[in-house]
Chain A
């Protein structure tokens, strides 16, 4: 599977950056979906794009710990203010999308294979 970048993802109208100023030239190597943080911590991997409906500050901690490429909030979820700030501080791109996690994952699969 080839990679795709956060930048390329942001060029698509269905994805918006919630924390402008963050570095977005990151490669996405895989996709992970999950909302139970302890589970995500033990099962996701480095360089993944993580799709979660959780919006509190702990998601940034998980992304930093696992060196993820970005966090994507599906279905119009919006991040808490301190989450946004922390993600900027820690240089984790935080994206929002109106799509479901499934739609986002399908989209990424298509892009990563082409």
Chain B
């Protein structure tokens, strides 16, 4: 994949397919320490033990067995290619955690991509589920929690409402722009 945000989208989609009601995305950029961390955790139905051992193998995750597709193997390849690694933790009926580490300045590390569009797309696909997005660069943190947004909106307005989405876009854009100075 050309941008890491595509992997992120893919893994979050997995989480929602696994009936998660809460998905959390954490991105930590530490340029000084040459580290990039992407963590996606969910409270979905998790993977049975025997499936988990095969989850990273692109040849066993065929359509018949699957809560997961090629996403994990590609994400892992991406991480390994840039001097990093991918860790998968999953427990049935508890949830799943995907933790990818990258060497920040590795020449083969794909750029993060457009996080504003990515987050907007994720929120559009949530339905009833909630989403937390935490992005840290250096010492600064940006945070978004759809539970708080829903609370502000009350029951009458949907998260998918165009006005709301437009507001979210602006909020993420501004929040990330403030972080940029930390790079």
Interfacial residues, chain A to chain B (CB-CB below 8 A): 36-38, 41, 53-58, 61-62, 80
Residue of B81, B107, B111 ringed by the most chain A CB atoms within 10 A: B107
Q: How far is the CB of B131 from chain A (nearest CB, A)?
A: 26
User: Distance in Å from the Cβ of B74 to the closest Cβ of chain A?
Assistant: 14
Report if B128 contacts A (CB, 8 A).
no
Smallest Cβ-Cβ distance to B109: which chain A residue: A58
Chain B: how many interface residues by the 8 Å CB criterion? 7
* With A36-B108, A37-B107, A56-B111 already in contact, 16 other A-B pairs whose C-beta atoms are closer than 8 Å: A36-B81, A37-B108, A38-B107, A38-B108, A41-B107, A53-B2, A54-B2, A55-B2, A56-B2, A56-B3, A56-B110, A57-B111, A58-B107, A61-B107, A62-B107, A80-B111
Report Cα–Cα, A36/B81, bound state, in Å.
9
- Output the nearest chain B residue to A59 by Cβ-Cβ distance: B107
A32 to B166, CA, bound (A): 44
Residue numbers in B under 8 Å from A55 (CB-CB): 2
Q: For residue A36, which residues in chain B have a CB less than 8 angstroms away from its CB?
A: 81, 108
Residues of A within 8 A of B107 (CB): 37-38, 41, 58, 61-62
